[in-house]
Structure formats: structure tokens, C-alpha cells
Structure 1
Amino acid sequence: MLKDKFGRRFHYLRLSVTDVCNFSCDYCLPDGYQCDSDRNFLGLSEIRQICAGFADLGTKKIRITGGEPSLRKDLPQIIQIAASTTGVEQVAITTNGYRLEQQVDSWVDAGLNLLNVSIDSLDPRMFESITGHDKLETILSGIKRGLERGLKVKVNGVLMRQYNGNELGAFLSWLKHTPITFRLIELMETGDNKDFFKLNHLSGEPIKQYLLENGWSPVIQNNTAGPAQEFWHPDYQGKIGLIMPYSKDFCATCNRLRISATGKLHLCLFADKGLDIRPYLQQTDTLELQQQLQQLLGDKDATHWLDQGFTGATKHLAMLGG
């Protein structure tokens, strides 16, 4: 079992397979993707080694992220590798949904069972303003197809003062009759968005208080769940969640590690650097990889220090898929 010096156990791996993204979201890549780094992304054999090595150390959930993972033509094979790894119980993907409607069936056929889609606004004009694409309706159609295929669906929206800060009512109306979980994520400061962060950061605490005062109750989470505080209401088919990285003790229940698309272990989304594990992915077995992972985990900090303005090596969220 992967366990750090603070007693936290790590059942959940976020595996980036590309840092390329075709959206230009204002809070992440406002000028679009810039090819300013190594694009020698992990191959299928390396991904197989990662999945096997982590699974042997107790990882039960693997989330495939980007950038935008659907830009890889071999995404169904990547999903199949993760899903067929002994010990892995859940395979998830986080996507901007651009190709969801056309590709979701192939993902399910490959073994996907959890789907996360990014939607920052339910207003088509605001959605296009944020992302640079008029794709909201086709993304919603893709979500509908995912639900029809039996996927558990979560939708992520980044909370921003000047954009969707007044859309809580619209999101709740959507959840009234839609069996998904919608998670509002507090805007996080990164190396490239400091001014944007100052203008647009909103705390999720007032929303949490509103929910608790209006009949919503906390959902009990399992040990592979992400960082969201989720809430349910007897009159709603959907649930709502809040991801509040600036809240007290946010990191105390951390259960996830990250691998970048170029084979670097990130002990935190905001770690000061990635730790190269690629040489250990060329072995015939995973023993050396497992030993290295356990050794490197000893350097994991107690917290991300975001509240002190520390953003580490994370220039933008597309680097590691959040």
C-alpha cells in the first residue's frame, strides 16, 4: 500500500496522457495551447507498466486526464489497459467533451465506467466566451449518451466571479431532473493566471451554507473518492459537490497521486517539480518502479501551500489535468 509519513493512503492515480488541449479557457489557456515543452508522451507499454505498478501497491481507481485525452487516437486502448489491470476497480476520464458525442460508446466498450466533463456555464453564449467553442449542446448530448450507456457522470465547473458567479440557480435547476453530480471548483491560482485569480476567485463556503440551509445533506464518501464535499437532496435526481482547496484541512484526506504525460510523478498538483520515473517504465517487471514510488512518496508535503500563494511548477491546469 502506498502510504506517506502523515498516514495518508493512496488508492487513486490521475494519469495524464497528453498536455495538449483544444480549448482556450480563460482561467487555464486563454491564448490556446502553446507547444513549449517535450511532447514525447507516454506510450502504451509505459502506461501498462504504470497501471500494473500502482495497482500492485493498492491503487483501485485510475483517472485518465490531459490536457484533453480524447486528442490521443489510442485513447480506447489506454482505457482498455487500465480497465484490464488486476486490482483496478474504477476507470475514469476527465474530458472537455469536445468529442464526447462521437466517442463515448468506444470508451464504454473499452471498459470506462466513470465520466467527468468540464462545463463552466449552462448559458451557451457564456460557455463559448469561456472556452472559445460553441459546443455546449453537443457536449450535453454526449453526457446523455453516457448516461444511457450506464456511466456514472460528474460535471465540473470552475467558479468565477465575473463569469458564472450567479449561475447556481441554473445549475440546481438542471440537477432537479438530471442524475449527475455537478461539482463547483474554486478557482485555483497557477503560475500563469495570477491577475485573473485575483479578479475572479470566489469561496465555495457561502454555497455550502446555502445548501445546508435548504435541505441538502452531505454524502458519505469512500476511500477512492476525489476531494469534493458532495450533497444530496430528496427532491433532486442529481447531486452537487464543492471542491474548495483553500478550505481548512483540505489536504488531510488526500488519496491521489499524479503522473504527467511525460512520465513524471507529481506528489501534489502544486508540487515544485515532477519526479522522473520513466526509466523504471522500461523494465520487464514493476518491482523497481514500486520501490521508487514508495521512496519518492516520503517527500510528499502535508499541504499544497496555496493559501500562501505558492503555485509550484504548475503554470496552468492543462499540464496535469487538474
Structure 2
Amino acid sequence: MLEDKFGRRFHYLRLSITDVCNFSCEYCLPNGYQCDTPRDFLRLDEIRKIAKAFANLGTSKIRITGGEPSLRKDLPEIIQACASTPGIEHVAMTCNGYKLPEQISSWVDAGLTSLNVSIDSLDPRMFAAITGHDKLETIMQGIEKALELGIKVKVNAVLMRHFNQNELDSFLDWIKEKPVTLRFIELMQTGDNKLFFDQNHTSGLPIKERLLDNGWQQIEQNKTAGPAQEFTHSDYKGNIGLIMPYSKDFCATCNRLRISALGKLHLCLFSEQGLDVRQFLLDNSEQRLQDELVSLLADKKSTHFLHDGYTGATKHLAMLGG
């Protein structure tokens, strides 16, 4: 079992398969993808070995991330490789949704069990202003198709003071009849976005207080759940989630590790550096990789130090998919 010195157990792997993204979101890649890293991304056989090693160490959930994972032509094969690994019970993915209508069926056939889609505004004009693409209608069509196929869908919205802070009522109206979990994520500071962060960061606590005042009930999360506090209401088909990385004790329940598209282990989204484990994929000895993962976990810190303005090696969220 992967367990750190603080007693936290890691059932959940976030696996990046590319750092390329075709959107230019204001808080992440406002100038678009710059191709500033080698594009020698993990191959399918390497992904199989990583999935097996983590599964052998107690991981039961893999989330495929980017950049934008749907830019890889072998995405269905990657999903299938993770889903067919003994011990892996859930294969999720986070994407921007622009290829959802045409590709969701192939992802589900490959073994995808849940899907997170980024939608920072329900206003088509604001969505285009944030992402650089007029694709909201296409993404919404893809979500409908995913729901029809029985996929569990979550929608991620990054809270930004000058962009979508006043859209809570619109989002609530949407989930009244839509069985999705809408997750508001506090804007996080990264190496490249300090000015934007200073201008746009806003806390999720007022939303939590409003929900509780209006009859929403907090749900107890399972061992493979992400960091969101989730709430439900009998009058709504959808749920609300809040991810508040600046809240007290946010890191106390950390249960996830990250592998970058270049084969580096990141003990935290804001680690000082990625730790190269790709060299342990060269042979067929899963034990060597497992031993290295256990050894490196000893260096995991108790917190991300975001409160101190520390962003580590994370220049932008596309590097690791958040």
C-alpha cells in the first residue's frame, strides 16, 4: 500500500498523457500552448506498466488528464490499458470536451467510467472569452451524449472574480434538472499567472455558506474521491462540489499522486520538481518501479504551501492536468 509518513494512503493516480492543449484559458494558457517541453510523451506500453505498478500498490482509480488528453489519437487504447489492469476499478478522465460528441462512445467502449468536463461559464460569450473558443454548444451536446451512455459526469468551473463570480444562480438553475456534479474550483496561483491570480482569486466559502443556508447537505466521500466537498439537495437532480485549496487542512485528506506525460512522479501539484521514474519502465520488472515509488513517497510534504505563495515547478495547470 502506498502510504506516506503522515498516514495518508494513495488510492488515486492522476496520469497525464500530454501537456498539449488546444484551448487558451485565461488562467492557464492565455497565450496558447507554447511547446516548451520535449514532446516525448509516455507510450502505451509504458502506461500499462505504470498502471500495473500502482495497482499492485493499492491504487484503484486512475484519472487520465492532459493538457487535453483527447489530442492523443491512441486515447481509446490508453483507456483500455488502464481499465483492463487488475485492481483498477475506476478509469476517469478530465477534458475540455470539444471532441465529446464524436468520441465519447469510443471512450466508453474502452472502459471509461466517469468524465470531468471544464466549463467555466454557461454564457457562450463569456465561455469564448475565457477559453478562446466558441465551443460551449458542442460541449453541452457531448455531455448529453455522455449521460445517455450512462457515464457519471462532473463539470469543473474555476471561480474568477471578473469572469464568472456572478453566475452561481445560472449554474444552480442548470443542475436543477441535470444529473451532473458541478464543481467550483478556487483559482490557484501558478508560476505564470500571479497577476491574474491577484486580480481574480475569490474564496469558495461564501458559496458553501449559501448552500448550507438553503438546505444543501454535505455528502461523505469515499476513499478514491477527489478533494471536493460535495453537497446534495432533494430539489435538484445535480450536486454541487467545492474545491478550496486555500481552506484549512485541505491537504490532510490527500489521496492522490501524479505522473506527468514525461514519466515524472509529482508528489504534489506544487512539488519543487518531478521525480523521474521513466528509467524504471525500461525492463519488465514492475517490482523495481514499485520499490522506487514507495521510496520516493517518503519525501511527500504535509501541505502544498500555497498559502505562502509557493507554486513549485508548476508553471501552468496544463503541465499536469490540475
TM-score w.r.t. length of structure 2:
1.00
Residue 234 of structure 1: aligned partner: 234
Is 1:263 aligned to residue 273 of structure 2?
Answer: no
For residues 261-315 of structure 1, give each alpha carbon's deviation from its aligned partner in whole angstroms, at most 9, with x where no partner exists.
0000000000000000001111213100000000000000000000000000000
Secondary structure at the aligned position of 2:230 is classed as: strand
Residue 273 of structure 1: aligned partner: 273
Q: Distance in 1 between matches of 2:110 and 2:31?
A: 34
Secondary structure at the aligned position of 1:293 is classed as: helix
Residue 293 of structure 1: aligned partner: 293
Residue 321 of structure 1: aligned partner: 321
Identity value in percent:
70
Is 1:204 aligned to residue 204 of structure 2?
Answer: yes
One-letter identity of the residue aligned with 1:156 = N
Residue 163 of structure 1: aligned partner: 163
Secondary structure at the aligned position of 1:272 is classed as: coil
Residue 50 of structure 2: aligned partner: 50
* Runs of 4+ deviating beyond 2 Å: none
Residue 174 of structure 1: aligned partner: 174
How many Å apart are 1:61 and its aligned residue?
A: 0.2
Residue 195 of structure 2: aligned partner: 195
Q: Distance in 2 between matches of 1:252 and 1:314?
A: 21
Q: Distance in 2 between matches of 1:158 and 1:281?
A: 35
Is 1:109 aligned to residue 144 of structure 2?
Answer: no
Q: How does 1:109-128 map to 2 (within 5 A)?
A: 109-128=109-128
One-letter identity of the residue aligned with 1:211 = L
One-letter identity of the residue aligned with 2:186 = E
One-letter identity of the residue aligned with 1:105 = S
One-letter identity of the residue aligned with 2:247 = S
Q: Distance in 1 between matches of 2:281 and 2:66?
A: 20
Residue 254 of structure 1: aligned partner: 254
Q: Distance in 2 between matches of 1:10 and 1:191?
A: 26
For residues 123-166 of structure 1, give each alpha carbon's deviation from its aligned partner in whole angstroms, at most 9, with x where no partner exists.
00000000000000110000000000010000000000000000
Residue 95 of structure 1: aligned partner: 95
How many Å apart are 1:38 and its aligned residue?
A: 1.1
Secondary structure at the aligned position of 2:292 is classed as: helix
Unaligned runs of 5+ in 2: none
One-letter identity of the residue aligned with 1:262 = L
TM-score w.r.t. length of structure 1:
1.00
For residues 59-118 of structure 1, give each alpha carbon's deviation from its aligned partner in whole angstroms, at most 9, with x where no partner exists.
000000000000000000000000000000000000000111110000000000110000
Secondary structure at the aligned position of 2:94 is classed as: strand
For residues 7-65 of structure 1, give each alpha carbon's deviation from its aligned partner in whole angstroms, at most 9, with x where no partner exists.
00000000000000000000000000001111100000100000000000000000000
Secondary structure at the aligned position of 2:156 is classed as: strand
Unaligned runs of 5+ in 1: none
Q: Distance in 2 between matches of 1:229 and 1:217?
A: 10
